[in-house]
């Protein structure tokens, strides 16, 4: 998904990640992690870091952002003993996340059009 290209009216091609940056300020790493989680399954920070070849700190930052945006959920892992809590991260319903992104992209485009119209009416 992130590597698929969109062609802009200028004929410039951008990635899905660049498009998501417009509406959500997602980095390429955020998008990469979101796409992996949209495929299904539950992952710990360690598992995602290993699978995607990223540092745990980078994965943790992206996951926190994706949880805050409501795209990703987390569940506390059951552990024996003491220590920091560990979480598994997952997307509850990939279809709903995609539908939300579609609605939000439409809303971003509408807002952009309103601002352009307002700018032109003001001159």
Q: Rounded mean pLDDT of 26-47?
A: 95
Q: Compute CA distances 81 → 84, 86, 87, whole Å.
A: 10, 12, 15
Does the structure show a pLDDT above 70 at 123?
no
Q: Rounded mean pLDDT of 107-114?
A: 91
Residue that wins the pLDDT comparison between 83 and 46: 46
Q: Rounded mean pLDDT of 109-122?
A: 88
Short-list 20, 23, 67, CA closest to 43: 67
Q: Write the class of the CATH domain 5-122.
A: mainly alpha
Residue that wins the pLDDT comparison between 83 and 25: 25
Question: Phi, psi (5° rounding) for residue 43?
Answer: -135, 145
Full-model pTM: 0.83
Question: Mean pLDDT of all residues in the chain?
Answer: 90
Does the structure show a pLDDT above 90 at 31?
yes
Determine the pLDDT at residue 3: 65
Which sequence spans correspond to the domains of the chain? 5-122
Over residues 67-85, the pLDDT tens digits come to 999 999 999 988 777 777 7
Q: Compute CA distances 95 → 38, 51, 98, 102, whole Å.
A: 9, 23, 5, 11
> What is the C-alpha separation between 121 and 9, in angstroms, rounded?
23
Q: Rounded mean pLDDT of 25-34?
A: 94
Residue for token pair 């390429």: 28
Residue for token pair 């943790």: 60
């Amino acid at each position: 998904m992130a590597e698929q290209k969109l062609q802009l009216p200028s004929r410039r091609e951008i990635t899905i990640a660049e498009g998501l940056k417009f509406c959500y300020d997602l980095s390429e790493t955020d998008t990469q992690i979101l796409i992996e989680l949209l495929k299904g399954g539950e992952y710990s920070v360690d598992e995602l870091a290993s699978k995607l070849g990223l540092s745990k700190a980078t994965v943790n930052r992206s996951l926190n952002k994706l949880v805050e945006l409501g795209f990703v959920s987390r569940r506390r892992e059951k552990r024996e003993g003491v220590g920091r809590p560990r979480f598994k991260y997952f997307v509850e319903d990939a279809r709903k996340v995609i539908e939300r992104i579609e609605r939000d992209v439409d809303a971003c485009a509408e807002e952009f059009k309103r601002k352009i119209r307002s700018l032109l009416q003001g001159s």
